[in-house]
Structure 1
Amino acid sequence: MLDLEQYRVGDLPTLYYVPDAITPAEEQSLLTHITASKQQWKTVSGRRLQNLGGIVHKKGLIPAPLPSWLQPLLGRLAQDTGAYGEGKQPNHVLINAYQPGEGILPHEDGPLYHPVVVILSLQNPAVVRFARKRRDEQQSDAAAAAEGAESHGRAGQLVASVACMPRSLLIFKDEAYSGCLHGILEAAVEDIDASVVNAQQAGLQVGQALPRGGERISLTVRRVLHTYSLGLRL
């Protein structure tokens, strides 16, 4: 099991970056399986998305079998990180395909999941930026997302940014999961500014421009806390 404290970055106590978590050969194998998969891609806000493991709705997960080629990776992530709880494995994976210039608005993953996310980046880099949520209890979720989007343009409101290089893991949980919004700018070139807390670990320098390159594939690996049978009436 990884000692995650060795990989903690920035001031958030529950934000971790693991470089070179898989080998180039393992990366290529995953990309080959993803490319050959018959799973349907869905277009969401410009990016392409595959949903593996079932349908997530407001009460939990209606499960579907995960592909056999994905099982060794999920078991390894569960064992190496211990992120999903003792003896627990992830049961849901989102595969996102981002072209340079495509991003995702600041958002939170919410209470349906065990409060941890593990993101494996493949092929090309991107920077994931974390902005602390407003504490005003009367603020709506929509307003919170809008505030997070605005914060992308104002570095002073960012808590941290993490440069996710190919084959790396980004892990965030607890405070970083529930107290922050996270997103990716719509940019073809990322500015490695002072908010990037893992510049050294990623082999980068503050002030550097990081081209996104070609398509980036990411696997967002989570555990939905509650599962239901197909007989559930929605």
Structure 2
Amino acid sequence: MRLAIIPARGGSKRIPRKNIKLFCGQPMLAYPIQAALDSGVADKVVVSTDDEEIADIALHYGAEVPFLRPAELADDHTGTTEVIRDTLQRLLASGWDISHCACIYATTPLLSGATIRLAYEQLVSTQADYVFTAARFSFPIQRALLQSQQGGVIPFDPQSIGKRSQDLAETFHDAGQLYWGRSEAWLKASQTLFGPNTKMLVLPHHLVQDIDTPDDWHRAELLYQLLKQAPAP
């Protein structure tokens, strides 16, 4: 079985109730559920939550909520990998036969079923442990600047600040959306997600947007509306 798990706890400090706040007419959580169901490569979609209201919304949009997440895995300090591992262990113990598992963040309205499918196909074809969505940094991070305590400017990497952009290594960042992995990889506590047998599915910038602040939320809504209006490629 290929499983998609969407972690969606009830607490959110910067944007209250972020996971179920209305986004372009639907609860935010509806978008990753629908994308996973549309992908054709997720046999089941499970939402991991500690919140009854979130659980009800998840069920309404077609996900399953086999159990509520324990409180000790729903605080501000619990890592996503811990939540995925705990959910996998519980489902395997209850008889689910899971070969591959995707972690999909709850606030990913720009993520499509097609992207979820492409990442899974890359995972299988390359025999990787994990495949995650990523994006290129639009500016060379080697030429980043720091501000001193006196208000002056300090190069982050003095050896690179004078180099041409084309002479610097291309760099990438996690898109914060999707992580496909083999179940055995998720279950190994000693295995890091970003390791030598992990691959990236690099996305264009207009499909990537963190949503941590009200400004992020507004920009994501504008991007989503533009993408909906754009003609199919």
- TM-score normalized by the length of structure 1: 0.28
- TM-score scaled to structure 2, two decimals? 0.28
* Greater fraction of residues in helix: 2
Q: Give the structure with the larger strand fraction.
A: 1
Structure number with bigger Rg: 2
Quick one: higher RCO (CA 8 Å, sep 6+), 1 or 2?
1
